[in-house]
Amino acid sequence: MLKNKNIILGVCGSIAAYKAALLLRLLIKAEANVQVIMTRDAVNFITPLTLSTLSKRPVLTDYFDTKTGEWNNHVELGLWADLILVAPASANSLAKFASGICDNLLSAVYLSARCPVYFAPAMDLDMWAHPATQTNIERLKSYGNHLIQPGSGELASGLIGEGRLAEPYEILEAILNTQSNQQQFKGKKVLVTAGPTHEAIDPVRFIGNHSSGKMGIAIARVFHTLGADVTLISGPTSEHAPEGVNLIKITSAQELLNACLDNFPHADITIMSAAVADYRPKVVAEEKIKKNTDSMTIELEKTTDILKTLGSKKKEKQILVGFALETHNEIENAKDKLEKKNLDFIVLNSLQDEGAGFAGNQNKITIINRAGEHFQFKLKSKLEVAQDIAQHTLTLL
């Protein structure tokens, strides 16, 4: 599966760096092309000569060779790579990656890359458990990177606990498992909606909501990674759509309806995660409304129920998924929505869950299917929630 793949192996300063030689041998045996990049601290734990001999390529540590002046182009390296693996990944390097600090060749290549990135942490147990490290881990995962969980056991400090680098065969196995699952939706057309809608009051004001679009964009990213042909219809958001996804930008509920009606007939799977306005101003002022009175009344009219409209048009083999954001009677209201709108399953969000919601990077969901079964998930990053939604969708295919 890794044959002829271009892999960058990043090695950071850690006593576990000696395992990089064993890991490199496994990658070479898998017939991958491996370029090793070491941080300056890493060379104190294992020599570049060892890794250069095994990879049959010069090991890179700096932006340029001080003797020859030859530049190691971080942009070209990032584009060359089909996969980046950082093992061991130190707490210091994880912090740099998470924050976008670019003070060495490895972090510059990471920021330039467009390929999947895996990191296998290695550090002492208190460093691993520290809130700063865990926050960096969650941030990296929210960017779409893959964590290879550290193991537990005796550490270099003499303490016993979590933080030791996963064994080389475990790291390779984790990569192979991910790669083998990446084409589960190959050949499927997936339609995803994301973000809010803005309903104009006048040329400068609108009615909207707090949706950031993060959840829908994470869903689009996951399905694209799993091989699907993804179309993302997105309302106004500062989030960037995943590369390779067909993006359709909309503003209002009517524009969202039109885009959905155009694309829904061709979709095998539709995930409606957008937060659509239920009402819009009946009359939109052509000019900015002046502040001439102490109060103002805006008459509203109902928008078209897009989810119900699509449910009425759904063909037998199409999968339609809706979202429900509730503040009370959550399960009952979600079940009612599931039935009335002809959904295959519904994703329930609760505003009662601390840490979950519109603007953040985490969410906590319950999936309810047509049989009335509930699948509750703990608080996770929105990317992990998107993965759970994709895996549940897979059970329906």
Q: What is the CATH number of the domain that holds 113?
A: 3.40.50.1950
Would you say residue 25 lies in a domain? yes
Would you say residue 288 lies in a domain? yes
Does residue 225 sit in the same domain as residue 309? yes
Count other C-beta atoms under 10 Å from residue 82's C-beta: 17
Does residue 29 sit in the same domain as residue 111? yes
Instruction: Let me know: does 152 contact 123? Beta carbons within 8 Å.
Output: no
Does residue 171 sit in the same domain as residue 193? no
pLDDT for res 349: 85
pLDDT for res 198: 97
Does residue 141 sit in the same domain as residue 176? yes
Q: Which domain holds residue 91?
A: 6-180
User: How many independent structural domains does the chain possess?
Assistant: 2
Count other C-beta atoms under 10 Å from residue 199's C-beta: 23
Does residue 123 sit in the same domain as residue 218? no
- Where is the domain boundary, 153, 180, 207? 180
Does residue 171 sit in the same domain as residue 318? no
pLDDT for res 66: 74
Task: Tell me how far apart the alpha carbons of residues 275 and 272 are, in angstroms, rounded to a whole number.
Answer: 9
Residue 108, sorted as left (phi over 0), alpha (psi -120 to 50) or beta, turns out to be: alpha
pLDDT for res 182: 65
**Catalytic: 209?**
yes
Would you say residue 122 lies in a domain? yes
pLDDT for res 325: 85
- Give me the half-sphere count of Cα atoms (radius 13 Å) on the Cβ side of residue 312: 7
Count other C-beta atoms under 10 Å from residue 106's C-beta: 28
Per-residue pLDDT tens digits of the chain, which is 397 residues long: 788 899 999 999 999 999 999 999 999 988 899 999 999 999 999 999 999 999 999 999 988 877 777 888 899 999 999 999 999 999 999 999 999 999 999 999 999 998 999 999 999 999 999 999 999 999 999 888 999 999 888 888 888 888 899 999 889 888 887 776 667 898 999 999 999 999 999 999 999 999 999 999 999 988 987 889 999 999 999 888 877 899 999 999 999 999 999 999 999 999 999 999 999 999 999 999 998 888 989 999 999 999 999 999 999 999 999 999 877 888 999 999 999 999 999 999 876 666 666 667 788 999 999 998 999 998 888 888 998 999 999 999 8
Q: Which of 6, 73, 209, 263 is catalytic?
A: 209
pLDDT for res 258: 98
Would you say residue 311 lies in a domain? yes
Angle (CA) 216-218-222 rounded to 5° is 120
- Where is the domain boundary, 150, 180, 210? 180
Flag whether the pTM goes above 0.85: no
Does residue 383 sit in the same domain as residue 259? yes
Would you say residue 318 lies in a domain? yes
Does residue 55 sit in the same domain as residue 120? yes
Would you say residue 296 lies in a domain? yes
Instruction: Show contacts of 63-69: CB within 8 Å, 24+ apart.
Output: 63/105, 63/108
pLDDT for res 112: 92
Does residue 273 sit in the same domain as residue 316? yes
Q: Domain holding 228: CATH number?
A: 3.40.50.10300
Instruction: Let me know: does 356 contact 381? Beta carbons within 8 Å.
Output: no
- Where is the domain boundary, 133, 153, 180? 180
Does residue 173 sit in the same domain as residue 285? no
Does residue 164 sit in the same domain as residue 291? no
Does residue 198 sit in the same domain as residue 345? yes
Would you say residue 1 lies in a domain? no
